[in-house]
Amino acid sequence: MKPVIVIPAYNPEKEILIALVKQILTFDIEKLIVINDGSNPECSDVFNSLEKIEKITVLYHKENLGKGAALRTGFEHILKFKMPCKSIITVDADGQHLPGDVKKIIDRAGQMPDAFILGVRQFKGHIPLRSLLGNKMTYLMFRGLVGKKISDTQTGLRAIPKCHLDKIVTLSSDRYAYELEMLLTLVQDGLPIIEVPVATVYQNNNEVSSFRPIADSVMVYQTLFMWWFSFRFKQLLKYSLSGVFSTIADFGAYIILINLSCGFVTASILARMLSILIHFSSNKYFTFSYKNAPDLSEIAKYLLVVVFNLVSSIFLIFIFVRYLSMGEVVAKVVAQMLLFFATYTLLNGFVFLRSKRKESKQIRSTTN
């Protein structure tokens, strides 16, 4: 079956959107749906022109509701009219996606209609700083909290299996956070995620984008953390319990050594060595539920995390003792509390990614 294309648009540049639509219509598609998300009256002629083109349906919001609402409107229209397709391709209206890259996603969706396909940008060449930093930050947070490597979590060029549309339209996030919640939901469902490299294009230094750097970033990260607490709470409890066991050993040894007149640097190093074995084993086999024996890569990565945690802990204790006049024991407690989540994200997104990496290789092999 041919795919349906969905393009949310808010105050689009006429030449950019018309050129994109005309190119997409040369591809083998079922329908192209454009959502006017409350654009200014000056943009009316753009949508009036699109309405006259065969295979195009234009849907309207009376006011700007955001990208998430626009996508939901398109998806609900597909379900309401029971459009015959297996995949829905979402495309941005601001010129970030080249027609050739849209064709790549259409072709891959035809090969794997039951996979969630992402057109991942390469971020090479001249990239606006806010876009580069925002995408890298989201990538790192997603990898650390979710434990899965997705190169471009915020890409708007996607192929979504129609069989998952009923669930996607019920998601509650708004604006750009909706796309992240969609990704999190499909990852949680175990849907195969396929990444297709595409070009990175920013028209006029990305000035036409409606993304609000602060407000929308807050919504995106809020969505990520809320999902994490909802679906990783049990894992978080296990991680906490693992931390309790290792901290008892670490903290107990630290107190004893401090009372034996050791400096906090020496005490921190010796106490940490005592707790390393407990911490590694309990997290690998209890928190993240691995059954295989550790390999050299895991051990090496874990030791890097240990060094990072140790150096950070010593630095924080020094700051607290020297400049905030804390006692050495209190300083130790505060430092470890601050490093709690940092260590979790490194373990989940860096140390224990081996099985996930094998899984992604198996998925890629099925597409070749």
Give, in order, the Cα–Cα distances in Å from 205 to each of 65, 114, 131, 208, 327: 24, 35, 10, 8, 51
216 and 250 housed in the same domain: no
State whether 83 and 165 are in the same domain.
yes
Query: Quick one: 56 and 184 in the same domain?
Result: yes
Share of the chain above pLDDT 70, in %: 89
328 vs 294 pLDDT, higher one: 328
What whole-number distance in Å separates Cα of residue 293 and Cα of residue 34? 52
- The verdict on 167 and 30 lying in the same domain is yes
Reported as a pLDDT band with limits 50, 70 and 90, residue 287 is: confident
Residues 245 and 147 occupy one common structural domain? no
Q: What is the pLDDT of residue 133?
A: 75
User: pLDDT category, 356, cuts 50, 70, 90?
Assistant: very low
Same domain, residue pair 178 and 242:
no
CA 209 – CA 176 distance, rounded (Å): 11
Q: How many domains is the chain built from?
A: 2
pLDDT of residue 209: 58
Question: pLDDT of 168-179, one tens digit each?
Answer: 999 988 888 899
Q: Are strands 158-161 and 87-90 parallel, antiparallel or unpaired?
A: antiparallel
Residues 189 and 270 in one domain: no
Choose between 202 and 59: higher pLDDT: 59
Burial class (CB in 10 A: 0-12, 13-18, 19+), 115: buried
Domain that holds residue 43: 4-231
Same domain, 40 and 146: yes
**Encoded tokens for 276:** 């390393």
Model pLDDT, residue 103: 96
Higher local confidence (pLDDT), 142 or 88: 88
Q: Based on the fold, state whether residues 302 and 251 are members of the same structural domain.
A: yes
The last residue of one of the domains, among 183, 209, 231, is 231
Task: Give the pLDDT of residue 214.
Answer: 67
pLDDT surpasses 90 at 27: yes
Q: State the average pLDDT for the chain.
A: 85
* Three-state secondary-structure class, residue 298: helix
Q: Of 203, 231, 259, which marks where a domain is finished?
A: 231
Q: Is the residue at 368 inside a domain? A: no
Answer yes or no: do 178 and 306 share one domain. Answer: no
Residues 305 and 219 grouped into a single domain: no
Q: What integer is the mean pLDDT of 84-88?
A: 94
Judge whether 226 lies within some domain. yes
> Maximum CA pair distance of the chain?
85
Mean pLDDT of 68-85: 95
Name which of 51-55, 97-101, 113-117, 251-255 the model is least confident about.
Answer: 251-255
For residue 159, give both structure tokens.
């192929």
Looking at the predicted structure, is the pLDDT value of residue 4 above 90?
A: yes
Do both 290 and 169 map to the same domain? Answer: no
For the question of whether the overall pTM of this predicted structure is more than 0.75, the answer is no
Of 231, 256, 282, the domain-final residue: 231
180 vs 192: CA distance, rounded Å: 16
Kindly state whether residue 35 falls inside one of the protein's structural domains.
yes
